Structure 1
Amino acid sequence: MKQVDIFIAFFRSGMLGFGGGPSAIPLVHREVVITYKWMSDEEFSDVLALANALPGPINTKMAGYIGWRVGGFTGMLNALFATSVPTVVLMILFLSLLSAHKDKPWVSGMSRAVLPVAGVMMAVLTWDFIVKSKKSLGLIGTVLILVVSVIIIELLGIHPAILIAALLATALISGGKKRKEKQEKGVQA
C-alpha cells in the first residue's frame, strides 16, 4: 500500500504542479507533510535545501529522495516515475497537437515568439553567471574563461557538454588540492 501512496502523492503533485519544480514544491509539501505525514516541516525544509543545492530539476530530486526514504529503492523509482510521467504525457499530447496544426498561422507565430524569449532568458542566465563568477574568480579570470570557452565552442567546434565536464573536473581537482593545502597548514600550525 505504501508504494501506491508514493505513486499517488507524486503523480498528483506532478500533474497539478504546472510551471515546473518551484510551482510543485507546495504540492509536494502538502502530500508529504500534511496528507501522508512522511516527514515534519523541518525535515521537508532540509530536503528542499539539499535539493536546491544539487544540479537538475528540483521536483525529481525531491521525489527521488523522499521516495527512497519512505519506500526504499523501489519507492525512489516509483516516485521518479510518478513525477516524470505527467510531464512526458503532456509533452507528447502538446507536441502532437502542434504537429497537427503546424500550418496554422497562430502556431507558426507562437513558435517564432518562443525563440526571442528563450534567447533573452539565456542572456539573463549568462549575465548572472558572469556576475557570480566575477565575485569568486575576479574580472580577469572571468573574462579569460569566457573568451576561452567561446573559442573552444565556436571555433574548435567542441560540444558545450565536454567543456562543462572539463571545467567541473578542473574545479573539483583544484578544490581538492586547496582543501588538502589548508589541512596541511592547519596540522603544521
Structure 2
Amino acid sequence: MKQRQLFWAFFRVGMLGYGGGPASIPLIHKEAVDTYKWMNDDEFSDILAIGNTLPGPIATKLAGYIGYHVGGGIGMLNALFATVMPTIFLMIIFLTTLSSFRDQPWVQGMTNAVVPVVGVMMAVLTWQFFKKSKDGLGLGGSLSLVVVSIAIIVVLDLHPALVIVALLLFALTRKEQGQSATPKGGKT
C-alpha cells in the first residue's frame, strides 16, 4: 500500500511540477506532509535545506530521501521512477509535437501564464517556512536571519548553499554546547 501511495504521490508531483525542481517543492510538501503525513514540517524543512546543499535536481533528491524514509530501497527507486517518468514521457511527446508550434502565440502564452502560478506556490511555501521559523526563533530572530541571509547572498554574491551549510554548522555546534552544559543545580 505504501509503495502505491509513494508512486502516485510522486507521479502527481512529476506531472504537475511544471517549471522544474523549485516548482515541485510545494507539491512534494503537500504530498509528504499534508496528504500522507510521512513527515512533519520540521523534517521536511531539514531535508529541503540539506537537499539544497547537494548537487543535482532538488525534486529527485527529495523523492529519493522520502521514498527511502517511507519504503526503504524499493521505496526510493519507486519514488525516483515516479518523479522522472512523467518528465521523460512528456518531453518525448512535447518535443516531437510542440517543436512545430513553438512560435505560436498560444504556446508562448501558456508558458508565460504558468510563471506567476509557480511564483505564488513558492511564496506560499516561503511564508509557511517563515511562520515555522518564527515559532522557534521568534519574530526578531527570524527577520534578522532573513535580512542577513539576503545580504550575504545578494550583496556578497555567495551561493545560497554556503549560507545553508554555515547555518547548519552553527546549529549543530549550538546544540552540542547546549547539551554539554550542566543543568542548574546538577552535578558535573
- Structure 2 residue aligned with 1:40: none
Matches within 5 A, 1:167-186: 167-181=167-181, 184-185=182-183
- Structure 2 residue aligned with 1:126: 126
Distance 2:42 2:100 in 1: 38
Q: CA-to-partner distance for each residue in 1:87-111, whole Å, 9 max, x for gaps?
A: 3413523652544432111111111
Name the aligned partner's letter for residue 126 of structure 1.
T
Q: CA 1:150/1:91 → structure 2, altered by over 3 Å: closer, same or farther? A: farther
SS at match of 1:87: helix
The number of equivalent residue pairs is 156
Matches within 5 A, 1:52-131: 53-54=43-44, 55=47, 59-65=63-69, 68=72, 75=74, 78-79=77-78, 82-93=81-92, 96=95, 97-131=97-131
- Structure 1 residue aligned with 2:155: 155
Give the % identical residues: 30
Measured on the aligned residues, the alpha-carbon RMSD in Å equals 3.8
Q: CA 1:117/1:82 → structure 2, altered by over 3 Å: closer, same or farther? A: closer
Distance 2:43 2:118 in 1: 24
Report the TM-score when normalising by structure 1.
Answer: 0.60
Gaps of at least 5 residues in structure 2 are 17-26, 49-58
Higher relative contact order (CA 8 A, sep 6+): 2
Larger radius of gyration: 1
Q: CA 1:81/1:124 → structure 2, altered by over 3 Å: closer, same or farther? A: closer
Distance 1:128 1:24 in 2: 15
Distance 1:11 1:123 in 2: 26
SS at match of 1:188: coil
Distance 1:15 1:174 in 2: 39
Give the conservation status (yes or no) of the 8 Å contact 1:63–1:80: yes
Q: CA 1:12/1:143 → structure 2, altered by over 3 Å: closer, same or farther? A: closer
Report the TM-score when normalising by structure 2.
Answer: 0.60
- Structure 2 residue aligned with 1:188: 187
Q: CA-to-partner distance for each residue in 1:161-182, whole Å, 9 max, x for gaps?
A: 221222222222212222222x
Name the aligned partner's letter for residue 108 of structure 2.
S
Distance 1:115 1:63 in 2: 28
